[in-house]
Amino acid sequence: MKMTMRKLLTLLSILAIAALGCSPGGAGGGGGFQVTGRVLAVNTGGPPNPQATVQIGNASTTTGASDGLFVLNVDTGASAMTVLHSVFPTFVFTFPPVTADTDLGDFWIGPQTVTVTGSVLDASTLGAVDSATVTFGGRRAVTNASGAFTLTDVAYDPASEFIFFGIVGRVMKSGYIPAEFFVNQSPIGGVVSLPPILIAPVSDPNPPGPPYNLWGIVTLSGGGDPTGTEVTLKQNGTPVRFQNLGSDGRYRFWAVPGSYTILFQKSGFQDLEITITGFTSPDQLIRNDVTLIP
């Protein structure tokens, strides 16, 4: 009888440990796959302050105070995320159903929203490209038969427009080289109407150049993750573009020819400002890689 009771107690202990291992916690939930991402504020270009709450299904977590990052364990098929903030309105984002561990990318929130419209054309034929996926600011849309797309409820702040101008948009479709674009104009009546975005088929021997002309890679002295590095493009000391870098450390700006400086800032490292020289034509591609030191 003593042996039977001992076995029973052991079994109950195993079941209790298993139950604890399946309970919410750790990565903000207990679903089948882990998703990661980053929430950024369009008024500052950095993580929201106060921090935001991210909810996907029954899982929720708080964004990182220094980088805006979040990690959640979510159920298979999850495809929507709610971001709650004490100052900004509630934002709801959608993404493809989760079927594996996934990096969802960046999601922008802010005090206002605008609509971004445009079209995607084949760079070789100038014909409409349908069924292309367009993403910007965490919003996504698919082009119709005419190549047109509409992105609604895109985060915006008129007081920090240069940050909005620095957000990188992307266009993807099977059989085409992925393209990037920037929104380089102010909304009119709450709508930004973009010029056509050209994407090149993989068979095109002369694909169009990238939609940026100032770029580079930021590394940290001694190694480390450059995520959260703030890069500000200035003209005559006034900020005109801004990017909050991801783990690849790449910054990209499109700007008209002129005299500029680029300021690099990251917590724990010295500020670095460089001067752009010889920028006389919009089709130039000027690269400046930098290394930040503690």
**What tokens does 118 get?**
């445009």
- Structural domain boundaries of the chain? 28-109, 112-199, 214-292
Mean pLDDT of the residues in the chain: 88
Q: What is the pLDDT of residues 160-193, one digit of tens each?
A: 999 999 999 999 999 998 999 999 889 999 999 9
Nearest residue to 40 via CA among 136, 170, 118, 114: 136
pLDDT of 284? 85
Instruction: Tell me the DSSP string of 134-169.
Output: EEETTEEEE--TTSEEEEEEEEE-GGGHHHHHTPPE
Instruction: Say how far apart CA 263 and CA 179 lie, in whole Å.
Output: 26
pLDDT of 20? 36
In the block, tokens 């427009």 appear at 161
Q: What architecture (CATH level 2) is domain 28-109?
A: Sandwich (2.60)
pTM of this structure: 0.81
Q: Secondary structure of the chain: what % helix, strand, coil (to 5)?
A: 10, 45, 50
Say which DSSP state 176 is in: B
Which CATH number describes the domain made up of 112-199? 2.60.40.4130
Question: 109 falls in which pLDDT band (50, 70, 90)?
Answer: very high
Question: 212 falls in which pLDDT band (50, 70, 90)?
Answer: confident
pLDDT of 62? 97
Nearest residue to 78 via CA among 104, 56, 106, 53: 56
Question: 30 falls in which pLDDT band (50, 70, 90)?
Answer: low
Protein fold of 214-292: Immunoglobulin-like (2.60.40)
